C-alpha cells in the first residue's frame, strides 16, 4: 500500500473468503466494487438505538446546563465545556439523520435533525441539501461542503507563519459558518428564498432559521427577566469557545490534504480509527472513507466495513492526536 508522511500503514487483516484480506475481490478498488461485494453489511435502521443516543446526549446536556448555571466558576467552566462538547456531538448525530439513518420515518429524522442542529445554528434542510451534493460531487470541482473553514482542504502552497496562523484561527473559530448563519437568518426574516434550492427546501430552511432566532431571542428575554447571563453561559460561551473548535477538530481531517479532485473515496477521504470514546463522540464519522463508500450503511456497521477495507486505506491515522501531530511535523 502506498504511504506518505501523512499516512500510517495499516497491517493487513487475515485472509477472508476468496484469498483477499478484506473479502473484496483482488484488484477491486472502486466504490461500486465495494458496494457490490459488501452489500450484505446493510441492515435495517435501528430507531431504538438512535433514541438511546439522543437520550444520552440530552442527559449529558442537562448535566452541563445545571453545572453552567451554578454560582461558582469551578462548576460553571466544566459545565460550559460539557455543553459545548454536547453541541458538537449533537451535530454528529444530526449527520446520521441527514442520511435517514436515525429513524425509519422521514419526518422523525427531520425533526430530530432540526433539534440536534439548533445549538450550533445548523439548519437541517440546508445541511442535508448541501451534504448530499457533497457526496455526489466529491472529487470534482463542483464539490462544496456545508461547513466552510476558509481554506477548506489545506492548499499546499508557500505561506507566511502569520498567514498560516490566521488560516487555523479561522478554521477553528468557524467564523465562516457563523457569518453564513447571519446571512441566512437575514434572508429568513425577509422571507427570501435560499439560492440554488427548491421552493420546498427554501421554505424549510427559512422556518429552521426562524426557529433558531426565536429560541435565541426567548433565552435572551429570560436572561433579562431573571437578571442573569443565562444566554451567555448556556449557549453563546459553549458555542463559541468549545463547540466550534471541537467540531472543527473532528470534521476538518475528513478530507484535509487528501486528493479532493480524485473521485475515488480511498483517495479523497481520510479515516481515523481512534478509540471507543471518540467513535461514540463522532458517531462513527471517524470512519469517513467507509461512510463515503457506502453512505446509506447504518452508522453501527461502519466499523465492520472498516475491517473489510482497512488495508486499502491511503489516508489513515490511528487517532486524532496522531493526525494533528503528523500535520504539525509537516
Q: What is the full per-residue pLDDT of the chain (330 aa) written as tens digits?
A: 333 434 443 433 333 333 333 344 333 457 788 888 888 888 999 999 999 999 999 999 999 999 999 999 999 999 999 999 999 999 999 999 999 999 999 999 999 999 999 999 999 999 999 999 999 999 999 999 998 776 667 666 666 778 778 888 888 889 989 999 999 999 999 999 998 999 999 999 999 999 999 999 999 999 999 888 999 999 999 999 999 999 999 998 999 989 989 999 999 999 999 999 999 999 999 999 999 999 999 999 999 999 999 999 999 999 999 999 998 887
Q: Say if residue 106 is in the same domain as residue 211.
A: yes
Q: Say if residue 115 is in the same domain as residue 230.
A: yes
Interatomic CA distance for residues 87 and 242, integer angstroms: 9
In a domain, 46, yes or no: no
Q: Say if residue 117 is in the same domain as residue 158.
A: yes
Q: Say if residue 102 is in the same domain as residue 233.
A: yes
In a domain, 48, yes or no: no
Interatomic CA distance for residues 286 and 302, integer angstroms: 9
Distances (CA, A) of 42 to 20, 36, 100, 122, 289: 21, 11, 14, 29, 16
Q: Say if residue 73 is in the same domain as residue 35.
A: no
In a domain, 157, yes or no: yes
The residue from 251, 285, 301 where one domain ends is: 251
Contact 275, 322 (CB under 8 A): no
Q: Say if residue 329 is in the same domain as residue 307.
A: yes
Q: In 3D, which of 219, 250, 235, 237 has the Cα closest to residue 77?
A: 237
Q: Say if residue 67 is in the same domain as residue 166.
A: yes
Q: Say if residue 136 is in the same domain as residue 259.
A: no
| Domain span holding position 285 | 1-41+255-330
Q: Give residues with Cβ within 8 angstroms of 105, minimum separation 6.
A: none
In a domain, 328, yes or no: yes
Q: Say if residue 121 is in the same domain as residue 173.
A: yes
Q: What are the E-state strand segments in the chain?
A: 271-272, 316-317
In a domain, 112, yes or no: yes
In a domain, 307, yes or no: yes
The residue from 231, 251, 271 where one domain ends is: 251
In a domain, 35, yes or no: yes
Q: Which residue has the cell 468549545?
A: 242
Interatomic CA distance for residues 294 and 32, integer angstroms: 9
In a domain, 47, yes or no: no
Amino acid at each position: 500500500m502506498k504511504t506518505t508522511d501523512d499516512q500510517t500503514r495499516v497491517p493487513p487483516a487475515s485472509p477472508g473468503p476468496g484469498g483477499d484480506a478484506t473479502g473484496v475481490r483482488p484488484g477491486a478498488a472502486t466504490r461500486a466494487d465495494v458496494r457490490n461485494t459488501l452489500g450484505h453489511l446493510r441492515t435495517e435502521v435501528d430507531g431504538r438505538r438512535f433514541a438511546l443516543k439522543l437520550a444520552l446526549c440530552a442527559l449529558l446536556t442537562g448535566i452541563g446546563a445545571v453545572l453552567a448555571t451554578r454560582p461558582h466558576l469551578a462548576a460553571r467552566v466544566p459545565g460550559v465545556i460539557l455543553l459545548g462538547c454536547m453541541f458538537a456531538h449533537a451535530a454528529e448525530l444530526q449527520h446520521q439523520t441527514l442520511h435517514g439513518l436515525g429513524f425509519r420515518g422521514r419526518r422523525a429524522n427531520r425533526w430530530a435533525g432540526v433539534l440536534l442542529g439548533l445549538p450550533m445554528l445548523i439548519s437541517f434542510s440546508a445541511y442535508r441539501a448541501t451534504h448530499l451534493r457533497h457526496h455526489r460531487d466529491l472529487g470534482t470541482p463542483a464539490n462544496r461542503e456545508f461547513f466552510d473553514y476558509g481554506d477548506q482542504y489545506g492548499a499546499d502552497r508557500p505561506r507566511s507563519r502569520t498567514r498560516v496562523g490566521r488560516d487555523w484561527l479561522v478554521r477553528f473559530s468557524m467564523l465562516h459558518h457563523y457569518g453564513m448563519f447571519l446571512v441566512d437568518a437575514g434572508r429568513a426574516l425577509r422571507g427570501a428564498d435560499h439560492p440554488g434550492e427548491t421552493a420546498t427546501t427554501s421554505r424549510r430552511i427559512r422556518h429552521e432559521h426562524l426557529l433558531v432566532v426565536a429560541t435565541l431571542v426567548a433565552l435572551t428575554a429570560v436572561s433579562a427577566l431573571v437578571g442573569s447571563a443565562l444566554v451567555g453561559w448556556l449557549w453563546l460561551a459553549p458555542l463559541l469557545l468549545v463547540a466550534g473548535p471541537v467540531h472543527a477538530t473532528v470534521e476538518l481531517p475528513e478530507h484535509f490534504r487528501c486528493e479532493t479532485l480524485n473521485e475515488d473515496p480511498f483517495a479523497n477521504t481520510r479515516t481515523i480509527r481512534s478509540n471507543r470514546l471518540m467513535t461514540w463522540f463522532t458517531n462513527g464519522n471517524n470512519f469517513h472513507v467507509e461512510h463515503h463508500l457506502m453512505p446509506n450503511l447504518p452508522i453501527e456497521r461502519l466499523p465492520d466495513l472498516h475491517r473489510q477495507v482497512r488495508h486499502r486505506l491511503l489516508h489513515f491515522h490511528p487517532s486524532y492526536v496522531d493526525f494533528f501531530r503528523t500535520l504539525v511535523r509537516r
